[in-house]
Amino acid sequence: MAKYDGQKLATAVLPVLDNLERALATEVKDDGAQSLKKGVEMVYSHLDNALKENGVTEIEATGKFDPNLQQAVQTVPADKDHAKDTVVQVLQKGYKLKDRVLRPAMVVVAN
């Protein structure tokens, strides 16, 4: 039980991490927006480090599809660039607390 202490808090914080990543993906041009983005980067970095220090890690979602760690939310035909049963795109990152999946990665899979 102690091994997974903090699971509820970590799960609740993951959407915040997602929203910060979306904010950082936004292109900014003026100095005021650039300063704001720098502040968001700092918040994201501190939150990410706090999660890592408490055993929360991102699930690797590239390569072969793993239904234990990833959730296929869409499929596309396999082609020369994407073999069958491989991840084509990550729609939402997944996370684990030590060896327990908090949230599977949502992915597009070639079939």
Identify the CATH number of the domain in which residue 31 sits: 2.30.22.10
Considering the chain, what percentage of its residues have pLDDT values greater than 70?
A: 98
Q: Specify whether the CB–CB gap between 94 and 101 falls below 8 A.
A: yes
pLDDT confidence of residue 96: 96
- Structural domain for 53, as ranges: 2-110
Task: Give me 45's structure tokens.
Answer: 């970095």
Count of CB atoms situated within 10 Å of the CB of 95: 20
pLDDT confidence of residue 5: 78
| Distance of alpha carbon 73 from alpha carbon 69, whole angstroms | 13
Q: How many domains does the chain have?
A: 1
